[in-house]
Chains A and B, each alone.
Chain A
Amino acid sequence: MTKRKIQMMLSVNGEDHDVSFLPHRTLLEVLREDMQLTGTKHGCELGECGTCTVLVDGEPALSCLVLGLECAGKDIQTVEGLGTAGGPHPLQKRFAELNAAQCGYCTPGILMAAQSILTKDPTPDRETLREELAGNLCRCTGYLRIYEAIEMAAEDMQHGS
Chain B
Amino acid sequence: MMRLPTFSYCAPDTAEEIAHILAEEGPAAQIVAGGTDLYPNMKRRQVEPKTVVSLARARALRGIEWRDDGSLRLGTSEPLRALERDPRLQSTLPALHQSVLSISTPVLRNMGTIGGNLCLDTRCQYLNQNFEWRRTINHCLKCSGDTCWTAPGSPKCWAVNSSDSVPVMIAMGAKLLLQGAAGRREVTAAEFFDVTDGREWIRRQPDEVMTDIVIPSQEGTRSVYLKLRRRDAYDFPVLGVAARITMDGDLVSDARIVLNAVGPAPVRCTEAEQALIGYRLNAETIGEAGNLSRRGAKPLDNTDYMPNYRKKMVPVFVRRALAALA
- A adjacent to B, CB under 8 Å: yes
Residues of chain A having any CB pair with chain B under 8 Å: 1-3, 22-26, 28-29, 42, 44-48, 50, 53, 59-62, 64-67, 69-70, 113, 131-136
Say yes or no: A45 contacts B104, CB within 8 Å. Answer: no
Closest to B51 in A: A1
Q: Kindly state the separation between the CA atoms of A64 and B1 in the bound complex, as whole angstroms.
A: 10
Q: Kindly state the separation between the CA atoms of A64 and B40 in the bound complex, as whole angstroms.
A: 9
Chain A residues lying within 8 Å of B104, measured Cβ to Cβ, are 47, 135
Minimum distance in angstroms from B87 CB to a CB of chain A: 15
Chain B residues lying within 8 Å of A2, measured Cβ to Cβ, are 6, 8
Q: Kindly state the separation between the CA atoms of A62 and B106 in the bound complex, as whole angstroms.
A: 11
Closest to B56 in A: A70
Q: Kindly state the separation between the CA atoms of A26 and B43 in the bound complex, as whole angstroms.
A: 11
Q: Kindly state the separation between the CA atoms of A97 and B107 in the bound complex, as whole angstroms.
A: 26
Given contacts A45-B2, A69-B9, A135-B105, contact A61 B110 (CB under 8 A): yes
Minimum distance in angstroms from B3 CB to a CB of chain A: 7
Sample of 9 A–B contacts (CB below 8 Å): A2-B8, A23-B9, A47-B104, A50-B105, A60-B107, A67-B9, A131-B106, A132-B106, A135-B108
Chain B residues lying within 8 Å of A53, measured Cβ to Cβ, are 107
Q: Is the interface of A mostly helix, strand, loop or mixed?
A: loop
Say yes or no: A60 contacts B110, CB within 8 Å. Answer: yes
Q: Is the interface of B mostly helix, strand, loop or mixed?
A: loop
Q: Which B residues from 2 to 51 make CB contacts under 8 A with A? A: 2-9, 11, 35-36, 39-40, 43-44, 50
Q: How many A-B residue pairs have CB under 8 A?
A: 89
Q: Kindly state the separation between the CA atoms of A62 and B35 in the bound complex, as whole angstroms.
A: 11
- Identify A23's interface contact among B2, B8, B107, CB under 8 A: B8
Q: Kindly state the separation between the CA atoms of A161 and B154 in the bound complex, as whole angstroms.
A: 66
Q: Which B residues from 88 to 110 make CB contacts under 8 A with A? A: 104-108, 110
- Identify A61's interface contact among B5, B50, B107, B232, CB under 8 A: B107
Say yes or no: A135 contacts B111, CB within 8 Å. Answer: no
Q: Kindly state the separation between the CA atoms of A26 and B39 in the bound complex, as whole angstroms.
A: 10
Q: Kindly state the separation between the CA atoms of A1 and B8 in the bound complex, as whole angstroms.
A: 5
Whether, in the assembled complex, B233 has its beta carbon less than 8 Å from a beta carbon of chain A, the answer is yes
Whether, in the assembled complex, B54 has its beta carbon less than 8 Å from a beta carbon of chain A, the answer is yes
Minimum distance in angstroms from A20 CB to a CB of chain B: 15
Q: Kindly state the separation between the CA atoms of A48 and B8 in the bound complex, as whole angstroms.
A: 25
Closest to B41 in A: A46
Given contacts A47-B36, A50-B107, 18 further A-B contacts (CB under 8 A): A1-B7, A1-B50, A23-B6, A23-B7, A46-B43, A48-B40, A60-B106, A60-B107, A65-B39, A65-B111, A66-B35, A67-B35, A70-B11, A131-B106, A132-B106, A134-B105, A134-B232, A135-B106
Chain A residues lying within 8 Å of B133, measured Cβ to Cβ, are none
Chain B residues lying within 8 Å of A26, measured Cβ to Cβ, are 3-4, 39
Whether, in the assembled complex, B305 has its beta carbon less than 8 Å from a beta carbon of chain A, the answer is no
Chain A residues lying within 8 Å of B11, measured Cβ to Cβ, are 70
- Identify B3's interface contact among A45, A59, A65, A134, CB under 8 A: A45
Say yes or no: B5 contacts A47, CB within 8 Å. Answer: no
Closest to A67 in B: B9
- Identify A24's interface contact among B2, B6, B40, B56, CB under 8 A: B6
Closest to B54 in A: A70
